[in-house]
Amino acid sequence: MVFVQRDQQGRLLRVEEQPFEGMDGSLSEQCPELHSWLEARLEVKRKLDELNASDREVVRVFEDVINLLVEQGVIRYKDLPEPARRKLDQRALVRAEIEGLVDHPPLY
């Protein structure tokens, strides 16, 4: 048995294994409604994970676009806000350090 809280329309909002403040019912662990709710939460988590992975890729795209705009003289690097320059500089430094580590042959 699990303990649940529902919204005004009767939809599940929260499910816990132990009683909690604000709960307004319980369900059998074999209840189809519970399984549908859990599956929907897993799907949301999968989609959020997908977005997070995409965000990391898009950050690199933005860096490349900024570098291209600077190289072509469309914008000046010094015109970027100071916090943005610091972040871009830090990321460039870390990438350079990684490349330096990758260029070295293994010691074994």
Asked whether the beta carbons of 41 and 48 are under 8 A apart, the reply is: no
- Cβ distance 25 to 4 under 8 Å? yes
Question: pTM of the full predicted structure?
Answer: 0.57
Q: Tell me the average pLDDT of the chain.
A: 92
What's the pLDDT score for residue 107?
Answer: 55
Q: Do 2 and 27 touch, CB atoms closer than 8 A?
A: yes
What's the CA gap between 77 and 4, in Å, rounded? 54
Asked whether the predicted pLDDT for residue 55 surpasses 80, the reply is yes
Q: Report the SS3 class of residue 46.
A: helix
Query: Is residue 17 predicted with pLDDT exceeding 60?
Result: yes
